[in-house]
Structure 1
Amino acid sequence: MTRGGQGLARVACVVRAGAAPLWWLGVCAAGIGVLLPGLTGRRIGVMAGAVLFIVAAALVAYARRGRYAALARGAARAARHDVLQDRAVTVRNWRRGHGWWLLLAFLAALGSSYAVPAAGGMLLAGCGAGLWLKAAWLGRRERAGEALLWVRVDWLGRGAGRPAGKAVKAYRSTGVAAGDAAPGGGSRRRTAALV
């Protein structure tokens, strides 16, 4: 960084980075797990999994919303020399830093299917769905405030960390056209150029 600028990552992109791997690993684990009869039987396993999915999605989606909202309200404008991190880099850093945790969670979900078929996988998928819901909520806040929220990369720490963790002191904001991700952390839709 030049002239005292900071590296900034989009808050919504960090939140959303774990959604797809948790969702797909959960779906795979549930799909494999439902093939096993388990100790409880498939029907009870799937019913328990459905409850776990709903509970996990709600807990993850609503966790620490007050902290996110407080940091968003106090967001200062990003400086001219701050460097905005690309969405792909943010996602790659998060997934690289959490790769072993994702693998262990997948194996645990598979292992749990010997007792309660599909339940562990549906729990994982629920966590992924909750992250998507939280990113969508952040996107609505960004659109309403007409400002994208960013967090300093060094505050995220190793493995892309948590965007509302104790190390994060404040957010920065930019206009909605900054960076390569839309409000909520999704990729921007490319519009065809007029000829």
Structure 2
Amino acid sequence: MRPYKQGGFDSKSTSHGLFHVDVKDYSLIPKEEDDMFYAIYRRANTLLQAGRTWMGRSRYPSAGNAFQKAINSLKNCRMSSFEQECQQTDLLIALLENLMVCFNKMRRSRCVCNAMKDLRLLTRNNPSWWALCQEGRALEALGKYHRARVSYIRALKKRPGEQRIKEEITRISKRIGDLEETKQMLSQLSI
């Protein structure tokens, strides 16, 4: 409502006492177009799609840059409702999981572990089986085989029928067994 204004009335307005009511005036209701969150959310979603396109073309550095831009813009965005927080969280999870794949393809294992830390915070330490597999690959590349096996086992608990995870656990367990054998042999030789 606006205070009564001089100058006549048009067909889209009404007058009640001292106030002039303009039907087009929805200033108290936040519009989706006016809310900055939705603009940033649409841009981040576009960057997610662009990053997936780059991944399909095996252009992992370009895809990683797109995902990181989207993550940075979403993290710094202010939200005004619980619905917006849920949308932000869902999109951030998708972006971080795709970023982990890119980092693994580029052999940047420490970056995968850092992205997993952020993902664990977002999901309350309950990441998806796919993210756990990505973490397992990164930990294996870093030489942390026991932690990698734990990550794969957690992924298998979430997705029991997945044959690829079973194969990874078997492969890494064999590697851990070979390392233990080698350590025993070396300790016996050094005595």
- TM-score interval, normalised by the smaller of the two chains: under 0.3
Which has the higher relative contact order, 1 or 2, with Cα contacts under 8 A spaced 6 or more apart?
1
User: What TM-score do the two structures reach when normalised by structure 2?
Assistant: 0.24
Q: If you compute each CA radius of gyration, which structure gives the higher value, 1 or 2?
A: 2
User: Comparing both structures, which one devotes a greater share of its residues to helix?
Assistant: 2
User: What TM-score do the two structures reach when normalised by structure 1?
Assistant: 0.24
